[in-house]
Amino acid sequence: MKIFGTHISSGAFDYLSNHLGQINSIKEANNKLYRAFGIVNFFECENDFQLLKKSLLLTENIVSESDRAEYGDFQTNSELTNSIAYYLTTKKIQPSIVIEPTCGKGSFIIASLAHFNKIKQVFGIEIYKPYVWESKFNIIDFYLHNPSENKPDISIIHSSIFDFDFNSILKDIKTSELLIIGNPPWVTNSKLGSLNSSNLPEKRNYKNYSGIDAITGRSNFDIAEYITMMMIEQFQNKEGHVALLVKNSVIKNILFEQNIKKNAISGFEKHRIDSKKEFNVSVEASLFYFKLNTKPAYKCTEFDFYNNSEPTLNFGWLKDKFISNTKLYIDSKEVDGLCPFEWRQGVKHDCSSIMELEKRDGFFVNTLNETIELEDNLVYGILKSSDLKDIVVGKTRKFTIITQTKVGQETNYIERLFPKTFSYLNTHKKNFNTRKSSIYKNKPLFSIFGIGDYSFKPYKVAISGLYKTFHFTLVLPHNGKPIMLDDTCYMLGFSKKEFAVYTLLILNSDLVTRFLKSIIFLDAKRAFTKDVLMRIDLAQVANLIGKGKISEKLDVFNETYNTNLNMDLWNDFIEEISLVRNQQLELFN
Ligand SMILES: C[S@@+](CC[C@H](N)C(=O)[O-])C[C@H]1O[C@@H](n2cnc3c(N)ncnc32)[C@H](O)[C@@H]1O
C-alpha cells in the first residue's frame, strides 16, 4: 500500500483511517498519536494533517519517486539493522537516547526500539519528506505488532542534517547514554557537484586542504564522512556510542584524521558487510563502531560482520605511521622511510576523445573515429594502468599529444611549428575549453597536467594506482622517444637504464611487496598513491637485500628479457640514493 509515494502497512493505514477520521484538530491528533506510539508532533503543521486525512481516502501513489542520487539513498534492510542492534546489545550497550542522523524510512529506529528497552528519547532526522512519513508509519506498525514494548518520546524531524541544530538536543543529554546509529548518505561531494546538488555542508572544504590538492581531488570526500565527523565533534564529550554503516574509505579517513584531531573516541571496530547482498551495490562498506567520551585511540580492529567472533586484522596508527595491517607491518617496517626519488603521477588532460589516439594504417585515429594527420614531434606513446601488466613494456597501444614540457608553458608555439597538430587541436578547442576541472582555468590553450622534466626521462619504473597487483613495470623508450603514462599511474624517471632496472628489482622484491601490503588499503579506489610510494626507503631496502641478491635477480632479468646489464653502476646508484636520503633526513631532523 502506498501513501505520499511511500509504503504504509495495512495495519498502520487502518489505524490512521479509523482514528483520524473523527478528529478535526491537529493538536488532538498529535496528542492521540503521542499517547499511542510516543511520536512527538506526528503532524508538523496543519497542512500535513489535512493532507494525510485526505490521502487516507486515496491509497494511490500520489507522489512519484524522484531521482534520489544526490541523497545517497540506500535504505538498510531490517534484517541488517536488527543484527546491528543485536550486536550492540552483546556489547552491553543500552542507550537512553538514540539519534539517527539521516533516518530514511526508519529501519534503524525500529531496530533500536526492538532491542534497547531503556530508551527515553529518539531523534530521527531526514531530508526527504516521504521518508519522514514512512518512518512514522513504520513506528505505528511496530507498536501495533509490539504493544507492550517500551515507548520513548520519538521525534522524526524533517530537516537537512546540515541545518539541524544539535544544540537543541544536546541540552537534554547530560549523564544519559547516547547511541548514534544509522547509515548516512553514500555520495561524494564531487558527485554532488556533477549533479549540481546543494546537499552539502556549508564549509565545503572542511578538511582545509588547499591549492592543488583541493582542486585535483584530495578534498573529495563522502558526505557520510562529513556527517560522521559532525557527530564526533558534537558528541565526543558525551557518554555513548556510535554505530554507522559507512564506506570503508570513510573509516580509513576518520582513523587517519584521528592522529591530528585526537578526538575523545576509542574502541574502533570495523565490521565488513557484503554491500552487494545488502544494498546491491559494489562498494566496500562496513559497520563502524566506536565509543564516545574516552581517551583518544588510534587503532581499529577489523571483523567480518557475519562472523564477528575473531578479529581479522588491526589497522591505524603505530606511533607516527599509518598502516593497514599491523601484523604484516612488523616484519617489513624497516622499509618505512622516505623514497629518495620523487614519485610522479602521469599525464592528465581530461580530454580523452581528442587526446587519446590509436595508430591505424599509418594514421592516427581518435576515439571519435576521426582520422588525423599530425606531425610526429608532439606525439608520444602512452600507457594506462591496464597496460602495466608485464614487468617490461617497450611499446604502446595508445598515443597522445604532449602539448607542454612543463605545467603552464605557453602553447602558442604549436601553431608556428606544428601546423597540422595545431589545426587538429584548434578544431576541437571547445572540448578543451569545456573541461570541468578548475585546474584548466586561466591556463594556456590545450594545457595538460602531470608533466615536467621527469616525463621525458627515457627509462621509467611505473605502477598502476588502480590495480592491486603489487608489481612495478620497467617502461622503455620506443623509437628513441620516452613513453608517457596516464594519470592513473605513478612513476619514477631515470636517465640510466641500469638505475631503472636496479630500482625495479628492489621494488619487486618480497620485502617491498610485504611492506606495501601492510600500508595500502586494498578497498580504496586508488590503492597506490604518491603518499604510499614515497614511504619506500629505496636505500634501506637496497641495503637489506644486498648487492649479491640484486646481482642474482639481475641475471634472471637478463635471461628473461634478453638484456645484458651488469652491476657496474651499483655503487654509483647506492651513492646517489644514499646521498639524497641523507639530505632528506637532515631536512626532516
Ligand atoms: C543511505 S540512506 C540510509 C537511510 C537510513 N539511515 C537507513 O539506514 O535505512 C541515506 C538517507 O539520508 C537521507 N539524506 C540525504 N541527505 C540528507 C541530509 N542532508 N539530511 C538528512 N538526511 C539526508 C536520504 O534521503 C536517505 O534516506
pLDDT tens by residue, 527-557: 899 999 999 999 999 999 999 999 999 999 9
pLDDT tops 50 at residue 125:
yes
Which atom, in ligand 1's list, is nearest to the CA of 74? 1
Which cell numbers in the block locate residue 462? 611505473
Per-residue pLDDT tens digits for 558-579: 999 999 999 999 999 999 998 8
Q: Within a domain: residue 64?
A: no
> How far does Cα 366 stand from its chain's mean position?
32
Task: From residue 201, give the alpha-carbon distance in Å to each of 223, 227, 436.
Answer: 8, 9, 22
Query: Could you say which of 330, 362, 392 is where a domain stops?
Result: 330
Query: Could you say which of 304, 330, 356 is where a domain stops?
Result: 330
What is the average pLDDT across 124-135?
Answer: 94
Q: What does the alpha-carbon distance between residue 331 and residue 513 come to, in Å, rounded to a whole number?
A: 12
Q: Residue 38 Cα, ligand 1 centroid: separation in angstroms?
A: 22
Provide the phi-psi class of 464: left if phi over 0, else alpha when psi is between -120 and 50, else beta. Answer: beta
Q: Within a domain: residue 62?
A: no
Q: Residue 347 Cα, ligand 1 centroid: separation in angstroms?
A: 38
**Cβ 203 vs Cβ 122: under 8 Å:** no
Q: Residue 164 Cα, ligand 1 centroid: separation in angstroms?
A: 14
Position 201 confidence tier, pLDDT thresholds 50, 70, 90: low
**Cβ 200 vs Cβ 223: under 8 Å:** yes
Residues 257 and 376 reside in one and the same domain: no
User: What residue numbers bound the domain in which 8 lies?
Assistant: 2-55
pLDDT tops 90 at residue 502:
yes
Q: What is the pLDDT of residue 213?
A: 40
Q: What is the pLDDT of residue 219?
A: 58
Residues 306 and 389 reside in one and the same domain: no
Q: Give the residue, 53 or 255, on which the prediction is more confident.
A: 255
Which atom, in ligand 1's list, is nearest to the CA of 160? 20
Q: How many domains does the chain have?
A: 3
Position 70 confidence tier, pLDDT thresholds 50, 70, 90: low
Helix (H) or strand (E) segment spanning residue 536: none
Per-residue pLDDT tens digits for 319-348: 999 999 999 999 899 999 999 999 999 999
Axis-axis angle for helices 570-588, 497-507 (nearest 10):
70
Q: What is the pLDDT of residue 66?
A: 56
What is the average pLDDT value for the chain, to the nearest integer? 90
Q: What does the alpha-carbon distance between residue 476 and residue 494 come to, in Å, rounded to a whole number?
A: 10
What is the average pLDDT across 24-53?
Answer: 93
| Of 177, 176, 290, the residue nearest 228 (C-alpha) | 290
Domain of 224, CATH number, reads: 3.40.50.150
Residues 324 and 457 reside in one and the same domain: no
Q: What is the pLDDT of residue 63?
A: 45
Q: What does the alpha-carbon distance between residue 101 and residue 123 come to, in Å, rounded to a whole number?
A: 8
Q: What is the pLDDT of residue 588?
A: 56
Position 255 confidence tier, pLDDT thresholds 50, 70, 90: very high
Residues 325 and 349 reside in one and the same domain: no
Which atom, in ligand 1's list, is nearest to the CA of 68? 25
pLDDT tops 80 at residue 195:
no
Q: Residue 369 Cα, ligand 1 centroid: separation in angstroms?
A: 43
Which atom, in ligand 1's list, is nearest to the CA of 76? 9
Q: Give the residue, 219 or 334, on which the prediction is more confident.
A: 334
Q: Within a domain: residue 337?
A: no
Residues 354 and 222 reside in one and the same domain: no
Residues 169 and 269 reside in one and the same domain: yes
Q: Within a domain: residue 567?
A: yes
Residues 106 and 36 reside in one and the same domain: no
pLDDT tops 60 at residue 522:
yes
Q: Give the residue, 252 or 209, on which the prediction is more confident.
A: 252
Q: Within a domain: residue 504?
A: yes
Mutate to test the pocket of ligand 1, among 6, 70, 71 (most ligand atoms within 8 A of CB): 71
pLDDT tops 60 at residue 458:
yes
Q: What is the pLDDT of residue 206?
A: 46
pLDDT tops 70 at residue 214:
no
Which atom, in ligand 1's list, is nearest to the CA of 199? 19
Q: Residue 184 Cα, ligand 1 centroid: separation in angstroms?
A: 5
Per-residue pLDDT tens digits for 150-162: 999 999 999 999 8
Least confident of 116-120, 211-215, 481-485, 584-588: 211-215
Residues 108 and 219 reside in one and the same domain: yes
Q: Residue 69 Cα, ligand 1 centroid: separation in angstroms?
A: 11
Largest CA distance in the chain: 97
Q: Within a domain: residue 495?
A: yes
Share of the chain above pLDDT 90, in %: 75
Residues 239 and 213 reside in one and the same domain: yes
Q: Residue 132 Cα, ligand 1 centroid: separation in angstroms?
A: 10
Residues 50 and 87 reside in one and the same domain: no
Residues 355 and 398 reside in one and the same domain: yes
Position 10 confidence tier, pLDDT thresholds 50, 70, 90: confident
* Protein residue closest via CA to atom 18 of ligand 1: 160
Q: Residue 254 Cα, ligand 1 centroid: separation in angstroms?
A: 20
Share of the chain above pLDDT 70, in %: 90
Q: Within a domain: residue 213?
A: yes
pLDDT tops 70 at residue 251:
yes
Which atom, in ligand 1's list, is nearest to the CA of 102? 22
Ligand 1 site residues (CB inside 6 A) read 71-76, 102-105, 107-108, 125-128, 131, 160-162, 182-183, 185-186, 199
Pairing of β 379-383 and β 363-366:
unpaired
Residues 502 and 426 reside in one and the same domain: yes
* Protein residue closest via CA to atom 4 of ligand 1: 104
Q: Within a domain: residue 61?
A: no
Unique residue bearing C-alpha cell 651488469: 566
Q: What does the alpha-carbon distance between residue 278 and residue 381 come to, in Å, rounded to a whole number?
A: 43
Q: Give the residue, 202 or 277, on which the prediction is more confident.
A: 277
Provide the phi-psi class of 41: left if phi over 0, else alpha when psi is between -120 and 50, else beta. Answer: left
Query: Could you say which of 293, 308, 330 is where a domain stops?
Result: 330
Least confident of 92-106, 169-183, 405-419, 427-441: 169-183
Position 210 confidence tier, pLDDT thresholds 50, 70, 90: very low
- Report the Cα–Cα distance between both ends of the chain, in Å, rounded: 69
Which atom, in ligand 1's list, is nearest to the CA of 128? 25
**Cβ 288 vs Cβ 84: under 8 Å:** no
